Structure 1
Amino acid sequence: MTAAPTQPPAVTVPAAEGRFEWHTYAGAPGARRYKLYVPASYDARRPAPLVVMLHGCTQDPDDLARGTRMNAAAERSGALVAYPEQVATANPLRCWRWFEAAQQRRDGEEVALVAGITREVMQRFAVDARRVYLAGISAGGAMALIVAASHPELYASAASHSGVAVGVAVTAEAAWAMMRTGAPDGMDLAARLLAVAGEPSRAVPLLVVHGLADNTVSARNARQIAEQWAMAFGPVPNGAPESAEVRGRRVELARWGRGGSTLVELAVVSELGHAWSGGSRAGTFADEAGPEATELMLAFFARHPRDE
């Protein structure tokens, strides 16, 4: 059986026409800059969706925006997009510190910074609280998992591209090993996620995207992320895995859900390395071939707003 990922047909996305501005958040966990895209169609009388994007190592908000083309897609959908900035004083490669035990908790410094930036945008702009989403790539994808799991009241759904499961490493050395091989067999992945999430008020729906040819972060990590989320929060497989060819690349698809709804979706893209699927070469770690991860994420988010 074959089926394509739920993604709109290819369209011409207009150039971004809104405002892309720097802001600075200052709160209890500290201060951090972020860049915010406000689409030209933004109207304070109509609350808009908000997508929070976490960049990978060596990247910055501008680089991630160029590579993902998220601003142009947001212009079409009317969403605000916030890009928190990791700084070299926190990590020399500007990696989000997902691999440190102190960050793997709701009140971890960087987790609180991302959540604080999200809340600040919601206070300053008209944001639909039911449609606040979180995504990231690589180190940003790993950090997005921690933030989403520990703040289910804030994020409606989340997406991780080329990330690593929650809690599998607590040192930089262990992180490099996990990236290359994934967690060892027998590791209780669900327990490690629940140690971060606690007793969440709800399970945050999750989309996982990864390249099968990723030599930086093994695709085994993607499957472990999906299985970790499913084991911790209870969904079961929605049928057998499927595959389809999408824009020149074979995509393996798997879904987990309950009660007729899907909670976790996994898309593993053949021939894709450590790069944003269907991205733009104007940014780093982006591959123009394959399904557009940006559109996959926005479609997934639209299907998974937060219930009242």
Structure 2
Amino acid sequence: MGFPLPRLTLPVLSALALLQGPALALEPLADFGDNPGALDAFLYRPDGLSAPAPLIVALHGCLMSAAGFDDETGLTALADDLGAVLLLPQQREANMERGCFRWHDDDDNQPGEGESASILQMIDQALASEGADPARVYVMGLSAGGAMSAVLLANYPHRLAGGAIIAGLPYGCNRPAGVFDFNWYTLHYNIFAQDGADASYACGITRFFSATDRDAEDWASYVHEVIDAEPEDWPLISIWQGLGDETVDPANLQELTEQWTAVIGIDALPDATERFGRATRNLYRDDQGETRIESWSLEGFPHAVPVDTDGTPESCGFEAEYITDGGVCAVRRIAQFWGLAD
């Protein structure tokens, strides 16, 4: 996410991902528009797909690739079960050396701009080419991909039925804590600072920085100021965070919850709490009693997508880089919350 990490290139990461598990048929998605964010895209299409199918957009984290984020997370098995199309955008090394999506950059996180616009173009092309259902478009992501999922939820709420932010960040967090936050201004305007260093500082990335605690109303305003009008129904939002994460400050779970409950206009205190082993699930309901937001926290869990390698009735995914057995299958739980799975 724009902070010092081991220097592995995207081609190397893609090759490693293919060696970690069975190779699956990811097809390049080409000619999806002018692609202002200069991203790549891949599709996974289950056998015997029936239109109109749900479309799930899955955004990898830093030092990952599309090929390392499909079967490892359990997403391809989920797509097979649901009859859903997977769209997997992929960052290019020329944009961000460590393969992070540029969620922190105003040139890429505003409606119709940069990477945000490119991903929407991919969605439109996938809807047209695959006969997918425009009323059932969902987005999920890990880390920088989780932060970019928040970008898409903020930029295009009318276009999305649901979203999931795994170890991600609130929309608009890359800004100073106040007018005298000289550290942020120095990092933001210093041409010698590492790309994204301002976001690492402001958003609580790496163990050296803490998440900025902002009022819920401020968080909500960052979303409201980039949309022309609120949707009739906001997307269903699932938020996940490992409490042992040393990459993203776990305090971002609370900041994300405050942001999206305020955006939707519901109470930030949970209406119900459930526990599943090391995982705690909080439910946030609207005035009609409908659950609009869920948050999951996993005690001692690192910076990764939770999978359930020994799950029943069947296993979910397998451990790989930034994908860890947490005794709960995140992608299936998310699909259940979205109403796609039982």
Tell me if TM exceeds 0.5: yes
Say if 2:141 is the partner of 1:136: yes
- Matched residue type, 1:194: H
* Corresponding residue for residue 298 of structure 1: 335
Give the distance between the partners of 1:275 and 1:251, measured in 2 at CA: 16
2:72 corresponds to:
67
Q: What residue is the counterpart of 1:175 in the other structure?
A: 199
Contact 2:74 2:307 (8 Å CA) reproduced: no
**1: CA distance, partners of 2:48 / 2:136:** 17
Distance 1:140 1:62 in 2: 14
Relative to structure 1, the CA distance from residue 138 to residue 222 in structure 2 (aligned partners, 3 Å threshold; closer, same or farther) is same
Q: In structure 1, what is the Cα distance between the partners aligned to 2:149 and 2:227?
A: 13
Q: How far is 1:174 from its partner? A: 2.7
Q: CA deviation at 1:222?
A: 1.5
The corresponding residue for 1:266 is 295
Q: Distance in 2 between matches of 1:238 and 1:128?
A: 34
Unpaired runs of 5+ in structure 1?
A: 1-14
User: Which structure features the higher share of strand residues?
Assistant: 1
Structure 2 unaligned segments of length 5 or more: list them: 1-20, 176-187, 189-195, 309-316
For 1:291 and 1:42, locate their aligned partners in 2 and report how far apart those are by CA, in whole Å.
Answer: 27
The equivalent residue for 2:115 is: 110
* Residues 151-208 of structure 1: CA deviation (Å, up to 9, x unaligned): 1222111111000000010552232122242123458211112223343224222110
Alpha carbons of structure 1 residues 42 and 214: separation in structure 2 relative to 1, 3 Å: same
Q: How many residues align?
A: 286
**Partner of residue 34 from structure 2, selected from 17, 28, 46:** 28
Tell me how far apart the structure 2 counterparts of residues 57 and 18 of structure 1 sit (CA, whole Å).
21
Higher Rg: 2
Map 1:72-111 onto structure 2 (within 5 A): 72-111=77-116
**Preserved CA contact (<8 Å) 1:59 1:94:** yes
Pairing partner for 1:229 from 260, 263, 267: 260
Q: In 1, are the aligned partners of 2:109 and 2:115 still within 8 Å (CA)?
A: no
Look up the equivalent residue of 2:46 and give its one-letter code: P
Q: Secondary structure at the match of 2:70?
A: helix
1:217 and 1:163 mapped to 2: Cα distance? 7
8 A contact 1:278–1:292 mirrored in 2: yes
- CA distance, structure 1, for counterparts of residue 90 and residue 282 of structure 2: 32
TM superposition score normalised by structure 1: 0.85
Instruction: Please list the CA deviations of residues 232-262 of structure 1 after superposition, one character each: whole Å capped at 9, or x if unmatched.
Output: 221225754524133xx23242424232212
The counterpart of 1:220, out of the listed 231, 251, 255, is: 251
**Is residue 42 of structure 2 the alignment partner of residue 42 of structure 1?**
no
Cα separation, 2, equivalents of 1:113 and 1:143: 12
Aligned residue in 2 for 1:242: 273
| Root mean square deviation of aligned Cα | 2.3
